[in-house]
Amino acid sequence: MSQTIKYKNRAWENAALLLVPEGFDETKKYPAIISVHPIGSCKEQTSGNIYGTALAAEGFVVLVIDASFQGQSGGEPRFIEDPYERVEDIRCAVDYLVTLPYVDENRIGIIGICGGGAYSLNAAMTERRIKAVVSVTGVNFGRLLRDGFAGASPVESLEALARQRTAEARGGTPMVNNLLPASVEEGRKAGIQDIDVLEATDYYKTPRGQKPNGATSVLFSRLSTGLGWDAFHLAEVLLTQPILVIIGDKPGGFGAYRDGYEIHHRAKSEKKELLVVKGVSHYDLYDKPEAVSQALAKAIPFLKENI
């Protein structure tokens, strides 16, 4: 069973899908999972229709959230990808879950995909109500931007961002960048060879994964916050909950492979596991049955054991 709900953030409401197990009984207590979508995605894509649905079928109450400024959630202007706000979305999601009489407040976990995986790991460092974390092909958004995803070197990008923000403050047209080419064919014609960009296009720009609110767009002038952010800062000190890091062994330009090894090494967690799925890429782990089944075969017992 699924229903769309709203939960309170600081100055607006966030949208989420609330998924409950078959045979759900409001008089009982259930473990709960927050499911966090990728960068440029929405709750109806992999975090909801793949991982959220599978976890609900295994007996969890699952809250699949839309990021602030994105999807059906509030926040203006639109298409902001702000790591600090993404983490606050998660805190507010926990606030919502602990008000539900059928959720066991001592058994709340989190799963995130792509950027959502790194946001989930980061949130757990200072949100102690989260008892365990699963990161699926997690990407450190700040590291990705500093590696050139914003279009240049970090300082050059910040200079360009400053100029654009000034222009918008003076009434100029906001610059909303589409993160992907219109099609795989157009991407190849433009000389793009990176497996992650091409497979992202195949997922987001075709019926395979395309959804109305999965915009794959970003407001350029607001990327400066991300450029100065590091998902793994203080992981050696503050990340103590059990973590499961899942990556494919086919590296791409978004860097989930390297980020997975890094956080597994750096986390203070006494219980930390790394699953490297053979022959699998970043976007295979979004929805390809063979890849997803291997991820879930590890994630489901991990969450049942640790929350």
pLDDT confidence bin for 151, thresholds 50/70/90:
confident
The alpha helices in 98-240, defined as continuous H runs, are 115-126, 141-144, 154-169, 184-189, 195-204, 224-227, 235-238
Distance CA 154, CA 129 (A): 34
Q: Which residue has the tokens 């983490």?
A: 87
Q: Above 90 in pLDDT, residue 22? A: yes
What does the pLDDT look like over 264-297, one tens digit per residue? 999 999 999 999 999 999 999 999 999 999 999 9
In the structure, what pLDDT confidence band is assigned to residue 61 with cuts at 50, 70 and 90? Answer: very high
84-98 mean pLDDT: 98
Average pLDDT over residues 162-174: 97
Evaluate the omega torsion of the peptide bond into residue 77 and state whether it is cis, within 30 degrees of 0: yes
Task: Look at residue 74 and tell me whether its pLDDT is greater than 90.
Answer: yes
The yes-or-no verdict on residue 152 having pLDDT over 90 is no
Q: What is the mean pLDDT of residues 171-197?
A: 96
Q: What integer is the mean pLDDT of 179-184?
A: 95
The pLDDT confidence band at residue 150, using thresholds 50, 70 and 90, is: confident
**What's the pLDDT score for residue 215?**
85
Distance, in Å, from the CA atom of 225 to the CA atom of 84, rounded to the nearest integer, reads 8
Q: Which pLDDT belongs to residue 139? A: 98
Per-residue pLDDT reduced to its tens digit, 116-130: 999 999 999 999 999
Structural class in CATH, domain 2-150+226-306? alpha beta
Please give the average per-residue pLDDT across 178-200, as a whole number: 96
Measured CA to CA, the distance from residue 167 to residue 171 in angstroms comes to 7
Percentage of the chain beyond pLDDT 90 is 97
The answer on pLDDT for 1 being more than 90 is: no
Buried b (16+ CB within 10 A) or exposed e, 279-296: ebbbbbbbbbeebbebbb
Residue 130 carries which side chain, given as an amino acid letter? I
| Average pLDDT across the chain, whole number | 97
pTM for the model stands at: 0.97
